[in-house]
Amino acid sequence: MKIIVLIKQVPETTDVRIDPETNTLIREGVDSIINPFDMYAIEEALRVKERLEGAKVVVISMGPPQAVDALKEALSMGCDEAVLLSDRKFAGSDTWATSYTLAQAIKKIGDYRLIFCGKQASDGDTAQVGPGVSTHLDIPQVTYVKHIEQIDTHAAKVERMTEEGYDIIETPLPAVLTVVKEINEPRLPSLKGKMRAKKAEIPVWGAGDISCDEDKIGLDGSPTRVVKIFTPPPREGGRILTGEPDEVAKELAGLIKDIVTG
Amino acid sequence: MDYLLTEEQQMIKDLCHRIAEEKIKPVAAEYDESGEFPWPIMKIFAESDICGIYIPEKYGGMGGGILELAIATEELCWGCGGISLAFAATGLGTFPILLYGNEEQKAKYLPEVASGRKLAAFALTEAEAGSDAGSIKTTAKKDGDSYILNGTKQWITNGGEAEIYTVVAMTNKAKGARGASAFIVDKDTPGLSFGKKENKMGIRGSATREVIFTDCRVPKENLLGKEGLGFIVAMKTFDSSRPGVAAQALGIAQRALDESVKYAHERRQFGTSISSFQAIQFMLADMAIQVEASRALIYSAARMIDSGAKNIAKVSAMSKTFASDTAMKVTTDAVQIFGGYGYMKEYPVEKLMRDAKITQIYEGTNQIQRGVIASALIKEALAK
Ligand SMILES: Cc1cc2nc3c(=O)[nH]c(=O)nc-3n(C[C@H](O)[C@H](O)[C@H](O)COP(=O)(O)OP(=O)(O)OC[C@H]3O[C@@H](n4cnc5c(N)ncnc54)[C@H](O)[C@@H]3O)c2cc1C
Ligand SMILES: Cc1cc2nc3c(=O)[nH]c(=O)nc-3n(C[C@H](O)[C@H](O)[C@H](O)COP(=O)(O)OP(=O)(O)OC[C@H]3O[C@@H](n4cnc5c(N)ncnc54)[C@H](O)[C@@H]3O)c2cc1C
């Protein structure tokens, strides 16, 4: 039985710089770390492993070759296996293509009961990959999980954080859970784990290894078009639009269009 | 300075620094204030495999030596010299078993220490026997297949918290220094109890307590080495453990230096940063020289011990004396650089000064160390 953790390597900074030409992240000159939320996902997977006999934790990352460092850190914390998805053909993937690719890799690994993701990535910030993976695998998802109350190999009862408090949700397994930082305190790596990780050979899977539809991956498989990326100005008082719903909706759409294209 | 550490040693250094930075530093002031025992941090040490660094792999450890232990101690004590003492003092309590334990004793106790499941303590000092350890009054009387211990040990680090106690007691008073023996005593042995917990100047996150033996029956299997070896066990233990005290002092001193450089840069007086004053610059430079010299001496002593060299008492004592005197000097200067703020508990340096002081006192005061060094010098001269 496998517990899968999806981790993303992100730049170690909160002020992400975007290349205005290509609308992609500038990664040069910044150290990379595991997406902070994914540390909680790793920790929770390791804790669930202790509760479910015979479970193994497999950690997957899709990214450039250096994402192997993130995977090694996960191994040094106690994850059992790691897989890197890396291929030029994956370049330019949006969240849809990323989740498709990850889902295909998860199918290849097989025997999965739980898939842990962070709530969102500190750079991309969309919070879409977890739900995307659950859609591609056609299994349930619970987002913003802050506590796992009960778990066995068939079902889990979890608390899902909301703005007002939390929902209690029961889900059959397999399922995708995305976690918030309230869920636990991630452990540090251990010395033995670090030594094991140093020696570990992490398999790298390309498009050819995961039986995927070539027009569903990479730039070609990505329906999203990034028109413009900008930092929104700090929130001011806001505006309340009043009137008939139809008109208000139109006015709102116009305002959004102005912001995006203006 | 590059000390040509192996990849493994560097890994230990990095991990211990990370534990110090992320887990110890944020809670150090709290434990300093409350004087509680830092069990949550002990759990982190255990989970990180830190506890077995100096224990052979055969017994579940990492197979490192005094150098690995010193590197870890230095980094952990950078976070807090009090909290991390539980780790170093466990080393002190474990060395007698490492050095003089038989196979059964090692197999029974070392894996427990290596895994972090149990802490250890070393009990020699008594109210009337400090530097003059030879005048201890605790007795161990042979009775069939066991020894019966009676007496009170004072100021025992990890007292009451540790599960394993290595104890020096007199088995034959008539023989004087040759009449002492060392024993391993489990915490749950009937007749073993604990007295008052001391309220200390520094290293307040460590437990210092009386360990009391009242007709405490210890099986003869727990005798370390042979009867009469008690003080030899103690002296050889100190030879191995003193670089650890030195490393504790070094960690504290390095922290004082780091805090001072940062503060001197930030603090502005007379319209400029105080680090632009030569008086401050020279102080920082002198602190850095001494800290680096301590490190070089400690690492050299540790490497010499790990190489299996025989006459290590002198270098071991030198490293402890130099590093602890340095820590006292450097932390005092750190308070000076911080000025009035340095005297306040909201800032970290007054604690460093309080924590540094003990390193000149325990495991043999620096006066006693100088005695050890001088007698080695004289012995060497006479042997020529
Ligand atoms: C049109 C378009 C083109 C893009 N082109 C590129 C490009 O060329 N290069 C590039 O680097 N990025 C590119 N991106 C960004 C990339 O698609 C996203 O970074 C990625 O899909 C993850 O989305 P997110 O960062 O919002 O993660 P979120 O959805 O916020 O992440 C949620 C969780 O999903 C998991 N997760 C997310 N990403 C991964 C991953 N890669 N591996 C494993 N688990 C993961 C983690 O558990 C994470 O906590 C592009 C995006 C778009 C829209
Ligand atoms: C916080 C703390 C933790 C401790 N932990 C432990 C522990 O875990 N296990 C343990 O067994 N002990 C422990 N000790 C005891 C410690 O090792 C002794 O305090 C130390 O050996 C000094 O003994 P003393 O305090 O009796 O000082 P004394 O021996 O009374 O010394 C007083 C002064 O006289 C000087 N002096 C003494 N004899 C000479 C001499 N011959 N020549 C020159 N000067 C001399 C000393 O240097 C000192 O300045 C601890 C002590 C403290 C304070």
User: B315 vs A23, B183, B252, B302, B323, CA distance in Å?
Assistant: 62, 27, 21, 9, 12
Stronger pLDDT, A45 or A20, i.e. the higher one: A45
pLDDT reported for residue B195? 97
For residue B320, report the distance from its CA to the centre of ligand 2, in Å.
14
The domain in which residue B347 lies consists of 231-383
Q: Do B7 and A198 touch (CB under 8 A)?
A: yes
**Quick one: which atom of ligand 1 is closest to the CA of A6?**
44
- CB contacts < 8 Å between A and B, how many? 31
Q: Which residues of B touch A188 (CB under 8 A)?
A: 15, 18-19, 22-23, 44, 47-48
- The C-alpha atoms of residue A257 and residue A170 are separated, in whole angstroms, by 40
Residue A218 reports pLDDT greater than 70: yes
- The C-alpha atoms of residue B373 and residue A11 are separated, in whole angstroms, by 53
Q: Quick check: is B128 catalytic?
A: no
A251: which strand partners? none
For ligand 2, pick from B90, B128, B361 the residue to mutate: most ligand atoms within 8 Å of CB.
B361
User: Which candidate, B249, B166, B167, B152, places its Cα nearest to that of B209?
Assistant: B152
Residues B137 and B66 in one domain: no
Residue A14 reports pLDDT greater than 70: no
B48 in contact with A, Cβ within 8 Å: yes
A142's CB contacts (< 8 A; 6+ apart) are: A158, A160, A169, A171, A175, A176, A177, A178
What DSSP line would sit under A17-69, residue for residue? -B-TTT-SB--TTS-EEE-HHHHHHHHHHHHHHHHSTT-EEEEEEESSGGGHH
Residues B236 and B374 in one domain: yes
pLDDT reported for residue B291? 98
User: CATH number of the domain that B330 lies in?
Assistant: 1.20.140.10
How far from the centroid of its chain's Cα atoms is residue B160's Cα? Answer: 17
- The C-alpha atoms of residue B349 and residue B356 are separated, in whole angstroms, by 10
> Would you state the structure tokens that stand for residue B311, as one six-digit string?
């006459």
Residues B243 and B188 in one domain: no
Query: How much of chain B, in percent, has pLDDT values that exceed 90?
Result: 99
Nearest CA in chain A to B7: A195
> Would you state the structure tokens that stand for residue A193, as one six-digit string?
């784990």
Stronger pLDDT, B55 or A240, i.e. the higher one: B55
User: A29 vs A17, A125, B86, B149, B175, CA distance in Å?
Assistant: 11, 21, 40, 65, 70
- The C-alpha atoms of residue B259 and residue B288 are separated, in whole angstroms, by 12
Q: Distance (Å) from the C-alpha of residue B48 to the closest C-alpha of chain A? A: 4
| Confidence tier at A230 by pLDDT (50, 70, 90) | confident
Is the CB of B138 within 6 Å of ligand 2? no
Residue A15 reports pLDDT greater than 80: no
Residues B225 and B235 in one domain: no
pLDDT reported for residue A71? 97
Residue B91 reports pLDDT greater than 70: yes
CA dihedral B135, B140, B141, B146 (to 10 degrees): -170
For residue A147, report the distance from its CA to the centre of ligand 1, in Å.
25
Residue A26 reports pLDDT greater than 80: no
Residues B373 and B237 in one domain: yes
A219-223, B74-78, B104-108, B333-337, range with the lowest pLDDT = A219-223
Maximum CA pair distance of chain B? 79
pLDDT tens digit sequence for B212-266: 999 999 999 999 999 999 999 999 999 999 999 999 999 999 999 999 999 999 9
Listed residues B176, B203, B229: the one ending a domain: B229
pLDDT tens digit sequence for B5-29: 999 999 999 999 999 999 999 999 9
- The C-alpha atoms of residue B207 and residue B85 are separated, in whole angstroms, by 9
Number of domains observed in the structure of chain B: 3
Is the CB of B130 within 6 Å of ligand 2? yes
Residues B258 and B363 in one domain: yes
The residue whose CA has the least distance to atom 29 of ligand 2 is B131
Residues with CB under 6 A from ligand 1: A 6-8, 24, 35, 37-38, 41, 60-63, 91-95, 98, 102, 117-118, 120-121, 123-130, 222, 224, 226
pLDDT reported for residue A27? 67
Q: Do A195 and B12 touch (CB under 8 A)?
A: no
Interface probe with A: pick from B44, B47, B76, most Cβ of A within 10 Å: B47
Residue B81 reports pLDDT greater than 80: yes
Number of domains observed in the structure of chain A: 1
Interface of B with A in 57-96 (CB under 8 A): 62
User: CATH number of the domain that B178 lies in?
Assistant: 2.40.110.10
Residue A223, in any domain of the structure: no
pLDDT reported for residue A16? 66
Residue B144, in any domain of the structure: yes
| DSSP H helices in A52-128 | 68-77, 95-109
pLDDT tens digit sequence for B306-327: 999 999 999 999 999 999 999 9
The mean of the pLDDT values for chain B is 97
Asked if B267 and B273 count as a contact pair (C-beta separation under 8 A), the reply is yes
Residue A188 reports pLDDT greater than 80: yes
Q: Which residues of A touch B12 (CB under 8 A)?
A: 191
Asked if B138 and B169 count as a contact pair (C-beta separation under 8 A), the reply is yes
pLDDT reported for residue A225? 84
Query: What SS3 state is found at B194?
Result: strand
- The C-alpha atoms of residue B281 and residue B261 are separated, in whole angstroms, by 9
User: CATH number of the domain that A144 lies in?
Assistant: 3.40.50.620
Residue A97, in any domain of the structure: yes
Residue A21, in any domain of the structure: yes
- The C-alpha atoms of residue A9 and residue A131 are separated, in whole angstroms, by 19
pLDDT reported for residue A21? 76
Query: How much of chain A, in percent, has pLDDT values that exceed 70?
Result: 97
Residue B271, in any domain of the structure: yes
The domain in which residue A88 lies consists of 2-216
For ligand 2, pick from B185, B233, B362, B369 the residue to mutate: most ligand atoms within 8 Å of CB.
B362
Residue A67 reports pLDDT greater than 80: yes
Residue A243, in any domain of the structure: no
Maximum CA pair distance of chain A? 66
Interface probe with A: pick from B10, B15, B23, B55, most Cβ of A within 10 Å: B15
B18 in contact with A, Cβ within 8 Å: yes
Asked if B45 and B19 count as a contact pair (C-beta separation under 8 A), the reply is yes
Q: Do A188 and B53 touch (CB under 8 A)?
A: no
The H or E element spanning position A157 is strand A155-161
**Quick one: which atom of ligand 2 is closest to the CA of B367?**
47
pLDDT tens digit sequence for B109-137: 999 999 999 999 999 999 999 999 999 99
Q: Do B50 and A188 touch (CB under 8 A)?
A: no
Length of chain A measured in residues: 262
Listed residues B68, B99, B119: the one ending a domain: B119
B115 in contact with A, Cβ within 8 Å: no
A119-123, B9-13, B188-192, range with the lowest pLDDT = A119-123
Residues B236 and B375 in one domain: yes
Beta pairing class for A81-85 and A112-118: unpaired
Residues B252 and B363 in one domain: yes
pLDDT reported for residue B350? 98
Is the CB of B122 within 6 Å of ligand 2? yes
**CB burial string B270-303: b at 16+ within 10 A, e below:** eeeebbeeeebeebbeebbebbeebbebbbbbbb
The pTM of this model reads 0.86
Average pLDDT over residues A50-71: 95
- The C-alpha atoms of residue A172 and residue A140 are separated, in whole angstroms, by 8
Residue B1, in any domain of the structure: no
For residue B256, report the distance from its CA to the centre of ligand 2, in Å.
25
Half-sphere exposure of A199 toward its Cβ, with a 13 Å CA cutoff? 6
Residue A25, in any domain of the structure: yes
The H or E element spanning position B266 is helix B230-266
- The C-alpha atoms of residue A195 and residue B49 are separated, in whole angstroms, by 11
Q: Distance (Å) from the C-alpha of residue B273 to the closest C-alpha of chain A? A: 28
User: CATH number of the domain that B32 lies in?
Assistant: 1.10.540.10
- The C-alpha atoms of residue A99 and residue A93 are separated, in whole angstroms, by 9
